[in-house]
């Protein structure tokens, strides 16, 4: 099976400072792969480079065999790659429904879009209760749900999630991960960037541990969870 | 259902009433003097300017402090191509579209280098752009090509361009006025109706833009640029479109301004004008067309009304002597009013429900 996303020797630098030092990883079709690491390990830099928000200084990113290194973000959507950005990035002055529709901006099959919006409402009932509410007035967790739902409306084959648990209460984090699990079950390939290593590894099939811009460990998520080094560094002993 | 119909009917009645009011307004103003008709006309131009700037600032969220540059481009296109200056006399149906087009082009020229700038930085560059256009107009009176000795006078510099052709519909000069069924309609009043038509056109255009796919992209851009990219929006093109479309109505208003005034000079297009137009958008209610129109009407009419109220004679009557010079008092009252509005109505006088909810805390 060829990888959906393949990253080879990726390098990211800000000015002269290297944030990512030649990392390799891949995500196979239908997999939920997580990239974990502490603050400043380079998780977000990696995702930014993958999603075309910044240009990598070196390396190659391929998606289904196609070179997408440095392809601008907006063009990735058409290829089937959706990004759920860090800090959620909901459109605060638009209501929930409008936010979801914005996710389908690049599409014009209106009837199908409406069906999928209903599907999202089915999957995340909390959003249905708040259709007409401005996104800026939602709680952090609800905003995250909205951001994920919105990303799904781009009909992604590959969904990239940037720290969906950031700043959320534990109970809400559980709910967010439940939604992610549901999406994965439906066959969407997911790359999950997370600081919450425990939860991320519990839900993922495989994981990569990023540390100061380098991949330090990789393997089955279960194995990583049990690994004493991971335990010590990321899971609080 | 019944109340919905009722609502619809009330709306139609309101629109018809507003229409009738707008049609008789120049005659009411005419009774006070033609100067008041001119104020009305200028107000309509400001409505167009504010609507254009609203696209850039209110809808797309790009702070532009040099908007008056596009007004200047439109005005100078008309002034140069329809006056004694070059002895060119093109008709309005060439000049207005050309002015709007060149203004839009100027919008693109401004937009391209500032694509990556945001907030304060964007404001500074746009401010500079506005000044560049004004300084160009000021200095393009002594242009010589490298190596050549001939000096060309393009804009006539700070002296400005005089003797500009007015609006002229197939040989009929609007400025002459007309008599309809014994009712004399002055030239300025005729201009009013033309300006009103163009202002309505601007409202129509901006409304449709705002509710189009492009309009939604602008909103997304305003709310969150990265998320907008993640939605598949080509942020670069969408930004450029905002600058171009915003500039378009500015250019149109500029041409109309030159035609009515018969005189343009760089002085009319200073930074203060840009700030004024921005204030109309912000005070009225960013991103909300009725609010922006209200802002434009208030801010362009208010100084004139205050000028009248702060008149020396009025002060003489009330206090027995002149307390403050009228010009000073006028600015004082005007600034005070703006401060008060922003303190008590931070989202503007007539904000969109979304912005009101966001800034004033109540949920929609």
Q: CB contacts < 8 Å between A and B, how many?
A: 83
Helix (H, G, I), strand (E, B) or coil at B179: strand
**pLDDT truncated to tens, each residue of chain A (237 aa)?**
578 999 999 999 998 899 999 999 999 999 999 999 988 899 999 999 999 999 999 999 999 999 999 899 999 999 999 999 998 899 999 999 999 999 999 999 999 999 999 999 999 999 999 999 999 999 999 999 999 999 999 999 999 999 999 999 999 999 999 999 999 999 999 999 999 999 999 999 999 999 999 999 999 999 999 998 888 887 765
* Least confident segment among A76-80, B39-43, B112-116, B315-319: B315-319
* Least confident segment among A81-90, B62-71, B168-177, B243-252: B168-177
Pairing between strand A206-211 and A32-37?
A: parallel
Residue of B nearest to A105 (CA): B231
Tell me if chain A has a CB within 8 Å of the CB of B317: no
Predicted pLDDT at B53: 97
Residues B9 and B122 in one domain: no
Residues B95 and B219 in one domain: yes
Q: Which pLDDT tens digit goes with each residue over B137-168?
A: 999 998 888 888 888 899 999 999 999 999 98
Helix (H, G, I), strand (E, B) or coil at B168: strand
Mean pLDDT of B95-111: 96
Q: What is the DSSP string of B306-355?
A: HHHHT-HHHHHHHHSS--S-HHHHHHHHHHHHHHHHHHH-TT-SS--HHH
Contact A94 B354 (CB under 8 A): yes
Residues B73 and B138 in one domain: yes
Task: Using an 8 Å CB-CB cutoff, list chain B residues near A89.
Answer: 224, 226-227, 230
Residues B50 and B171 in one domain: yes
Q: Looking at the 3D structure of chain B, how many domains does it have?
A: 2
Distance CA A108, CA A154 (A): 11
* B48 CA: distance to closest CA in chain A (Å): 25
Contact B354 A89 (CB under 8 A): no
* B69 CA: distance to closest CA in chain A (Å): 30
Q: What is the 3-state secondary structure (H, E, C) of chain A?
A: CCEEEEEEEEEEEECCEEEEEEEEEEEECCCEEEEEECCCCCHHHHHHHHCCCCCCCEEEEEECCEECCCCCHHHHHHHCEEEECCCCCCCCCCEHHHHHHHHCCCCCCHHHHHHHHHHHHHHCHHHHHCCCCEHHHCCHHHHHHHHHHHHHCCCCCEEEEECCCCCCCHHHHHHHHHHHHHHHHCCCEEEEEECCHHHHHHHCCEEEEEECCEEEEEEEHHHHHHCHHHHHHHCCC
Residue B118 has pLDDT above 90, yes or no: no
Predicted pLDDT at B361: 58
CA-closest candidate to residue B282, choices B359, B364, B212: B359
The predicted model scores a pTM of 0.90
CA-closest candidate to residue A24, choices A48, A5, A7: A7
Domain that holds residue B18: 1-32
CA-closest candidate to residue B345, choices B282, B275, B273, B302: B282
Residues B19 and B144 in one domain: no
Contact A105 B232 (CB under 8 A): yes
Contact B230 A78 (CB under 8 A): no
Residues B86 and B223 in one domain: yes
Residue of A nearest to B353 (CA): A93
* Distances in whole angstroms, Cα of residue B177 to Cα of each of B34, B184, B187, B296: 12, 7, 4, 27
Tell me if chain A has a CB within 8 Å of the CB of B231: yes
Residue B363 has pLDDT above 50, yes or no: no
Domain-terminating residue out of B260, B285, B310: B285
Tokens of A2: 């060829």
B235 closest CB neighbour out of A74, A92, A102: A74
Q: Is there a domain that residue B153 lies in?
A: yes
Residues B68 and B108 in one domain: yes
* A44 CA: distance to closest CA in chain B (Å): 13
Q: Which residue has the higher pLDDT, A104 or B332?
A: A104
* Distances in whole angstroms, Cα of residue B176 to Cα of each of B35, B171, B198, B199, B351: 16, 11, 20, 22, 41
Predicted pLDDT at B2: 66
Domain-terminating residue out of B252, B285, B318: B285
Contact B355 A133 (CB under 8 A): no
Residues B172 and B135 in one domain: yes
Mean pLDDT of B127-136: 95
* A201 CA: distance to closest CA in chain B (Å): 26
Distance CA A153, CA A135 (A): 16
Residues B82 and B23 in one domain: no
Q: Which residue has the higher pLDDT, B326 or A17?
A: A17
Residues of chain B by 3-state class (helix, strand, coil), percent to 5: 70, 5, 25
- Mean of per-residue pLDDT scores for chain B: 91
Contact map slice: B 196-215 vs A, CB within 8 A: 213
Predicted pLDDT at A231: 85
B231 closest CB neighbour out of A92, A102, A132: A102
Sole residue written with tokens 């904000």: B351
Q: Is there a domain that residue B332 lies in?
A: no
Residues B119 and B234 in one domain: yes
Tokens of B172: 């009929």
Tell me if chain B has a CB within 8 Å of the CB of A237: no
Contact B220 A105 (CB under 8 A): yes
Predicted pLDDT at B60: 95
* B346 CA: distance to closest CA in chain A (Å): 16
Q: Looking at the 3D structure of chain A, how many domains does it have?
A: 1
CATH code for position A143: 3.40.50.300
Tell me if chain B has a CB within 8 Å of the CB of A122: no
Tell me if chain A has a CB within 8 Å of the CB of B168: no
Domain-terminating residue out of B243, B258, B285: B285
A103 closest CB neighbour out of B231, B235, B363: B231
Give percent of chain B above pLDDT 70.
Answer: 98
Q: Is there a domain that residue B27 lies in?
A: yes
Predicted pLDDT at B364: 40
* B218 CA: distance to closest CA in chain A (Å): 11
Q: Is there a domain that residue B305 lies in?
A: no
- Complex-level ipTM beyond the 0.85 threshold: yes
* A179 CA: distance to closest CA in chain B (Å): 20
CA-closest candidate to residue A44, choices A177, A183, A210, A155: A210
Q: Is there a domain that residue B355 lies in?
A: no
Residue of A nearest to B225 (CA): A89
A105 closest CB neighbour out of B223, B231, B358: B231
Distance CA B149, CA B323 (A): 57
Task: Using an 8 Å CB-CB cutoff, list chain A residues near B58.
Answer: none
Instruction: Please name the residues in contact with B260: beta carbons below 8 A apart, sequence gap of 6 or more.
Output: B38, B41, B166, B167, B188, B191, B195
Per-residue pLDDT band for B119 (boundaries 50, 70, 90) equals confident
Predicted pLDDT at A236: 67
Instruction: Please name the residues in contact with A83: beta carbons below 8 A apart, sequence gap of 6 or more.
Output: A47, A51, A73, A76, A151, A160, A162, B230
Contact B220 A74 (CB under 8 A): no
* B360 CA: distance to closest CA in chain A (Å): 12
* A173 CA: distance to closest CA in chain B (Å): 21
Task: Using an 8 Å CB-CB cutoff, list chain B residues near A51.
Answer: 230
Residues B141 and B21 in one domain: no
Instruction: Give the CA diameter of chain B.
Output: 78
Sole residue written with tokens 């929609």: B364
Domain that holds residue A133: 3-234
A89 closest CB neighbour out of B222, B227, B355: B227
Distance CA A97, CA A112 (A): 15
Residues B45 and B21 in one domain: no
Contact B231 A136 (CB under 8 A): no
Q: Is there a domain that residue B359 lies in?
A: no
Distance CA B296, CA B334 (A): 14
Task: Using an 8 Å CB-CB cutoff, list chain B residues near A80.
Answer: none
CA-closest candidate to residue A81, choices A157, A25, A7, A189: A157
Q: Is there a domain that residue B25 lies in?
A: yes
Tell me if chain B has a CB within 8 Å of the CB of A74: yes
Pairing between strand A189-194 and A32-37?
A: parallel
CA-closest candidate to residue B133, choices B247, B262, B276, B48: B247
Cβ pair B78, B258 in contact under 8 A: yes
Best probe of the A interface among B212, B222, B227, B348, by most A CBs < 10 A, is B227
């Amino acid at each position: 099976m060829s990888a959906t996303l393949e990253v080879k020797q990726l390098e990211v630098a800000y000015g002269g400072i290297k944030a990512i030092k030649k990392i390799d990883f891949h995500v196979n079709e239908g997999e939920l792969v997580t990239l974990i690491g502490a603050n400043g390990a380079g998780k977000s830099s990696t995702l930014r480079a993958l999603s075309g928000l910044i240009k990598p200084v070196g390396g190659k990113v391929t998606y289904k065999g196609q070179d997408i290194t440095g392809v601008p973000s907006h063009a990735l959507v058409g290829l089937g790659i959706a990004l759920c950005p860090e800090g959620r990035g909901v459109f605060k002055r638009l209501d929930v429904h409008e936010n979801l529709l914005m996710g389908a901006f690049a599409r014009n099959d209106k009837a199908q879009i409406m069906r999928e919006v209903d599907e999202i409402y089915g999957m995340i009932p909390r959003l249905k209760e708040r259709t007409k509410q401005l996104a800026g007035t939602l709680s952090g967790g609800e905003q995250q749900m909205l951001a994920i739902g919105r990303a799904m409306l781009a009909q992604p084959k590959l969904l990239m999630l940037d720290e969906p648990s950031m700043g959320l209460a534990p109970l809400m984090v559980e709910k967010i991960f439940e939604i992610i699990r549901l999406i994965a079950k439906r066959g969407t390939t997911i790359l999950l960037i997370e600081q919450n290593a425990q939860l991320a590894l519990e839900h993922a099939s495989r994981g990569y541990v990023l540390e100061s811009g380098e991949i330090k460990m990789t393997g089955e998520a279960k194995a990583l969870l049990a690994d004493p080094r991971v335990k010590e560094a990321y899971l609080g002993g | 259902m019944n109340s919905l119909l009722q609502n619809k009917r009330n709306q139609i009645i309101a629109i018809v009433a507003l229409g009738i009011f707008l049609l008789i307004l120049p005659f009411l103003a005419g009774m006070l003097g033609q100067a008041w008709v001119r104020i009305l006309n200028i107000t309509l131009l400001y409505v167009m300017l504010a609507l254009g700037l609203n696209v850039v600032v209110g809808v797309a969220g790009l702070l532009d402090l040099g908007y008056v540059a596009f007004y200047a481009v439109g005005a100078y296109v008309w002034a140069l191509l329809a006056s004694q200056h070059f002895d060119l006399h093109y008709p309005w149906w060439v000049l207005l579209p050309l002015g709007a087009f060149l203004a839009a082009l100027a919008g693109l020229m401004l937009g391209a280098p500032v694509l990556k700038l945001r907030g304060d930085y964007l404001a500074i560059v746009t401010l500079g752009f506005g000044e560049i256009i004004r300084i160009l107009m000021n200095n393009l009176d002594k242009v010589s090509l490298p190596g050549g000795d001939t000096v060309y006078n393009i804009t006539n510099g700070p002296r400005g361009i005089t003797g500009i052709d007015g609006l002229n519909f197939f040989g009929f000069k609007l400025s002459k006025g007309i008599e309809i069924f014994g009712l004399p309609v002055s030239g300025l009043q005729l201009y009013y109706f033309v300006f009103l038509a163009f202002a309505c056109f601007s409202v129509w255009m901006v409304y449709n833009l705002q509710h189009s796919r492009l309009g939604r992209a602008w909103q997304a851009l305003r709310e969150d640029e990265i998320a907008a990219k993640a939605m598949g929006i080509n942020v670069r093109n969408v930004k450029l479109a905002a600058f171009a479309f915003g500039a378009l109505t500015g250019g149109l208003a500029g041409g109309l301004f030159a035609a009515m005034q018969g005189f343009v000079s760089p002085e009319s297009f200073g930074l203060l004008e840009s700030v004024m137009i921005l204030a109309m958008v912000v005070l009225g209610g960013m991103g909300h067309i009725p609010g922006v129109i209200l802002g434009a009407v208030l801010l362009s009419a208010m100084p004139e009304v205050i000028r009248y109220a702060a008149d020396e004679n009025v002060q003489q009557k009330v206090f027995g002597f002149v307390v403050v010079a009228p010009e000073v008092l006028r600015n004082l009252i005007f600034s005070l009013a703006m401060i008060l509005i922003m303190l008590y109505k931070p989202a503007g006088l007539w904000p969109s429900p979304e912005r009101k909810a966001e800034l004033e805390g109540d949920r929609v």
